[in-house]
A and B are shown apart, each in its own frame.
Chain A
């Protein structure tokens, strides 16, 4: 029975929540479209880390699959939006 790991989990969860708040402010405020995409990219990485942190906190292995899925779909989404900015089209003929 030690308290150090639950403390660290709570501390890191607070950090990630603040980090997601920063990314959210940039997402809402960002002057250009690329700022918003960058903020969204940061937001999903932070969200994935938060899910992993919940997995550590509850000692459950199910959260791993959720984190993997968020990583996969977040990458696809950010890349599609960045490609759209770059070429004006996501899937080119």
Chain B
């Protein structure tokens, strides 16, 4: 069982989601390089962290459901975890940066 055995009804949307997720994450990380101040850069990885990760995890759910031939939704756990925890790190970093830029 591998990626080539997935039936077409799952492979087509999964492929679309994977391409979207990959491009979003790439653009988000590119922002780390192209934006010129830290306060602008902090917004860029959020793209990969929310919609990029969401697309990839949805595709993973589709593929594993099609391969196991029963609903497999435990990737929801990672989605929820990322959605809740990524903002916490960003907020802490933001406050640290504000504190350090005042000194």
**Cβ-defined contact, A12 with B19, below 8 A:** yes
Supply 16 A–B pairs (Cβ within 8 Å), ascending by A. Answer: A3-B4, A14-B22, A22-B32, A41-B45, A41-B93, A55-B60, A56-B3, A56-B64, A61-B72, A64-B60, A64-B64, A64-B74, A71-B82, A75-B85, A82-B89, A82-B96
- Chain B residues closer than 8 Å to A19, beta-carbon distance: 25-26, 28-30, 48
Q: A42–B45 contact, CB under 8 A?
A: yes
A interface residues, tally (CB under 8 Å): 55
B48 touches A45 (CB 8 A): yes
Q: How many A-B residue pairs have CB under 8 A?
A: 176
Residue interface bits B18-54, CB-to-A below 8 A is 1, else 0: 1101110110111011000010011001001100110
Interface size of B by CB at 8 A reads 58
Partner of B23, one of A15, A33, A56, A83: A15
Given contacts A26-B33, A55-B60, could you give 4 more A-B pairs where the C-beta distance is less than 8 Å?
A3-B4, A22-B29, A33-B100, A52-B60
Cβ contact within 8 Å between A2 and B8: yes
Q: Which residues of A contact B (CB under 8 A)?
A: 1-9, 11-16, 18-20, 22-23, 25-26, 32-35, 37-39, 41-42, 45-46, 48-49, 52-53, 55-59, 61, 64, 67-68, 71-72, 75, 78-79, 82-83, 85-86
